[in-house]
Structure 1
């Protein structure tokens, strides 16, 4: 942004005040100041009026700051003087600087002041329209847009409409205003397309499409109309027609990125290979556009072309765009190639966002698999220090990771330590209880579950877990049945609770009832543990062929299951499942 040319009003003040400044520094009396007029670049004229000496120096400092690229100082001075002097030239200057610096609050207030001071200035009305649109004040923005149109300006009505289309209530409220403006300016394609956009937002697709095609008759090469037509075709379920139209348009306008991007996006669902070609063309057209590069990289990644995806993700790191996504997928590619060290390095550089937790999960899992437990502890300690509000979550992740690798004693110690800091955490208390159960400390397990039920008597998960554990004790079967029954009342379609009910019925000797529950649970959620239970009950009933089939099914679901072999051993079954499978 250049600051070399002073606004005409300020230049007039400088010309007026400079002689006075050579005197004894006293500010001239405004009453004694003659009115003058001076030419403004562009052919117009503007009335110059004097400013107090303090204002003059403040604006002069602003211009000097601008020339030295201290734009924040320039903006602050102009912004304050615009409000103080209410001079339209100063307000305009403040607006332009604020918009250049993307200082939205100052830009909004300056633009509104400028539009108020110069109601017949189309540029002022357009500036106010744009800033009010960005601020979401759409009603007021429309008022200024209409003033700009009346003054012969080209109001950004499509941008205004685009802000409203994602909110059905707002779209319905503003639709009559857009319709009225489209009728008032029948030759204005901007107004017509904005009206069509609002009709689309309220799902009046045929009416919107009719307007778009009418605009195309007036201007066949208007890309906004062509793009909107493709969106409307998709809205009406005519995806094939939209794809065919875009294919034709891309061939006519090969360098129009908006058309090609819409075409590529539609092809993602229709033809991934062709979509990849289109994104490759887009990257050629925009070699430094991170969005295009990321889209092409993701398609290549999803189609398994990792070698082609990798340099694209690396390119994003060079451009410093979408760096977290690039690190995440480069980590995933390295992991796929069994390069754990490189994968961990990338995962550790993923920043908070969509892939953050997954990157941590993958990275710490790789470290645990390599036996690097101390590195994991250091990583989780760093995470808890960096994100104290997420401390409980990271404790849980670390505990669960240790449990997965059967480091139960260390996991329990960590859960104990975590509960010292998060004593109100029901999740940590639940995990601690499960670890105690895993380590054979049934008393501590039950104590933890009872504490949870004191806090939340209707917690079906806890009721089920405690009831299932108590079902192992012959003397507490009735107590177990009561707990599981209450859990089932609370969640009658939960397969894990239905499984528990089937198991307690079996423990009570009600085999037929047990089979009904267990078959229902297996249908709802095929699972190796449910298969172990159902197979055992069927075996005891004498339906051994079916029992073997169910166990085989369970092992297909989880070949590493320890529960099914344990059930067979308990029943002293010597027949191998492999032999049974081959005979079947």
Structure 2
């Protein structure tokens, strides 16, 4: 159903009428022809039925993708009612309309926005700060940077222009340019929260301490800046300043005790700071108030109770979660907790019972059982459970992969190859399957040429994966390519200091004649993993 009034909007109107809605009435009226003003002020006020009808029609237009109709309907309501909630909704729809136009015809949108910036100084700061949102749908991020820089260029001495530049440079992964613009935005307007937040997002590691000092000072000057204070609490906990983080979170909650979104945000801070009692209190309050997704909150609450050793409460909490998006995770946690308390039969029975309650989740629940068994080093039993899954779902990628690894660990390398080759027939670019099959060949020192091709493909798919780097380094060692092997294994160990990776690196260093370094690496690895079988075998074989 079309709206009673359908405008023929010009591009300039499309180019940020939403920003104009928030201007003082006098400033807005100064830009309107006198005849329009007369006709508008002479219109009778809307009654409740008319207001609801026009809102309803505008929302229908929005749902049908008729952004022009929806934007006109709400902007008309905003002018007639001056209601802040309607103005906010009008701005949201207008911004969506402008974003769509910027995506479809960026050159026209750029020209319209440039005109708006030049002709409406009162709205300029708002428009500049909205530029990143306006062009956010554009896939070509470098082109977006160029457009925003052109639009912002006449106003580069304003914080809003630098904020816009920083935001689009960040989205284009131009780290240095983003940080430089963000730092300038913050220095131009030290008490503007968006500038402070974009600076946090773009600060390189080497400047973290400096930005943290700026953030602390900002929050002291602006205690009402909730987003910045949330960011401060998170930064404190990430840098292991747990008591300071907990204190800041408690102060924040005291300022806005009825803000459920803030309560949920602070749950994360409390959990990471191991302030579990605080986290539990906030979660229970959110559940009691029926805020958010109940089962998600209940899952987190049960984990917090488990962390405090409240086993009975945690078990009951996991069991309270209904079949749905959180069900498998909850049942897996419940089974692991039962097993950890020595109740193995009950743990496995719980997962089987859960599979009966939710047949659609049976495969995932059986895989939770296999994981539980594997973590307890009951590999043959875990493999048997995965075979149950594969009997019902022979093309289950995860079950094929996990069962292949278990097959090799239980002395069945032929089964590993069979299962991984079936997996790769289903997904030729499964990097971890390529790596696992190739590593099996390298360990057995067979088919090294084929292993090399698989690992080269895997490293293309996952260039920073330490397991794949380790496998390729170990292959190079087998092939006698010691410099390449050492380089890859050093990188793998830096990313993932695992005892098996350490063993490979130690062997390469020893073979390359770097015996002192090999001994040092062995001592350090042994101090962290004294019981590791691979590491101990390597040390014994090399006489370390």
* TM-score normalised according to structure 2 size: 0.61
Work out whether residues 506 and 521 of structure 2, in 8 Å CA contact, stay in contact via their aligned partners in 1: yes
Cα gap change, 1:275 to 1:430, in 2 (>3 Å): closer
Rounded Cα–Cα distance in structure 2 between residues aligned with 1:470 and 1:483: 6
**Match in the other structure for 1:310:** 280
Deviation at 1:160, TM superposition (A): 1.6
Alignment of 1:181-330 (within 5 A): 200-203=129-132, 230-231=192-193, 233-234=195-196, 261=226, 264-265=229-230, 267-268=232-233, 272=245, 273-283=247-257, 286=258, 290-322=260-292, 323-330=294-301
- 1:165–1:171: 8 Å Cα contact kept in structure 2? no
Q: Distance in 2 between matches of 1:368 and 1:261?
A: 42
For the Cα contact (< 8 Å) 1:246–1:263, is it kept in 2?
yes
Q: CA RMSD of the aligned region, Å?
A: 4.5
Residue 440 of structure 1 aligns with which residue? 411
Q: Secondary structure at the match of 1:159?
A: helix
Q: CA deviation at 1:406?
A: 0.8
1:162 aligned partner: 92
Matched, 1:380 2:351: yes
Unaligned runs of at least 5 residues, structure 2: 2-42, 103-108, 133-150, 162-190, 201-210, 237-244
Contact residue 171 and residue 201 of structure 1 kept, 8 A: no
2:518 corresponds to which of 547, 550, 565: 547
Could you tell me whether the CA contact under 8 Å between 2:197 and 2:228 is conserved in 1?
no
Question: Do the aligned partners of 1:449 and 1:466 also contact (CA within 8 Å) in 2?
Answer: yes
8 Å CA contact 1:539–1:547 kept in 2: the answer is: yes
Alpha-carbon distance in structure 1 between the residues aligned to 2:406 and 2:130 = 53
Cα distance 1:547–1:352, how it changes in 2: closer, same or farther (>3 A)?
A: farther
**How far off is 1:146 after superposition?**
4.7
CA–CA distance in 2 between the matches of 1:242 and 1:468? 48
Distance 1:176 1:421, change over 3 A: same
When structure 1 is superposed on structure 2, of 556-565 and 421-430 the one drifting more is 556-565
1:120 Cα offset (Å): 6.3
* SS of residue paired to 1:122: coil
In structure 1, what is the equivalent of residue 186 of structure 2? none
* TM-score relative to the length of structure 1: 0.58
Match of 1:488 among 451, 456, 466: 456
CA–CA separation in structure 1 for the residues paired with 2:314 and 2:329 = 13
1:131 aligns with 2:56: yes
Change (3 A) 1:484 1:153: closer
Q: Secondary structure at the match of 1:202?
A: helix
Check the 8 A contact 2:319/2:334 in 1, yes or no: yes
**1:366 maps to 2:296:** no
Judge conservation of contact 1:247–1:263 (CA < 8 Å) in 2.
no
1:561 aligns with 2:532: yes
CA separation of 1:385 and 1:169: change in aligned 2, threshold 3 A: farther
1:368-388 per-residue CA deviation (whole Å, 9 max, x = no partner) reads: 223333333333334444554
Question: CA deviation digits over 1:400-448, x for unaligned, max 9?
Answer: 2211111112111111110111111122122222211111122322222
Pairing 1:400–2:329 present: no
Q: Matched residues in 1 for 2:265 and 2:95: separation?
A: 25
Going from structure 1 to structure 2, the CA distance change for 1:458 and 1:337 (only over 3 Å counts) comes to closer
| CA–CA separation in structure 2 for the residues paired with 1:443 and 1:384 | 31
Distance 2:532 2:59 in 1: 58
Deviates more, 1:548-557 or 1:424-433: 548-557
Aligned residue pairs: how many? 414
Please report how far the alpha carbon of residue 516 of structure 1 lies from its aligned counterpart in structure 2 after TM superposition: 4.9
Give SS of 2:256's match. Answer: helix
Q: Offset of 1:393 from its aligned partner?
A: 3.2
Contact kept? 1:528, 1:564, Cα under 8 Å: yes
Whole-Å separation in 1 of the counterparts to 2:475 and 2:74: 72
Distance 1:162 1:379, change over 3 A: farther
Structure 1, unpaired ranges of 5+:
1-82, 84-118, 187-191, 211-228, 251-258, 576-584
Kindly indicate whether residue 346 of structure 2 is the aligned counterpart of residue 421 of structure 1.
Answer: no
Give the conservation status (yes or no) of the 8 Å contact 2:489–2:501: yes
Q: Aligned pair in 2 of structure 1 residues 445, 293: CA closer, same or farther (>3 Å)? A: closer
Greater relative CO, 1 or 2 (CA 8 Å, sep 6+): 2
1:171: Cα distance to partner?
Answer: 8.0
Counterpart for residue 122 of structure 1: 46
**Deviation, structure 1 residue 237:** 5.0
Per the alignment, residue 437 of structure 2 pairs with: 466
Contact 2:408 2:416 (8 Å CA) reproduced? yes
Shift of 1:488: 1.8
Distance 2:431 2:495 in 1: 18
For residues 111 and 77 of structure 2, the distance between their equivalents in structure 1, rounded to whole angstroms, comes to 19
Map 1:20-99 → 2, pairs under 5 A: none
Compared with structure 1, are the counterparts of its residues 464 and 161 closer, same or farther at alpha carbon in structure 2 (3 Å cutoff)? same
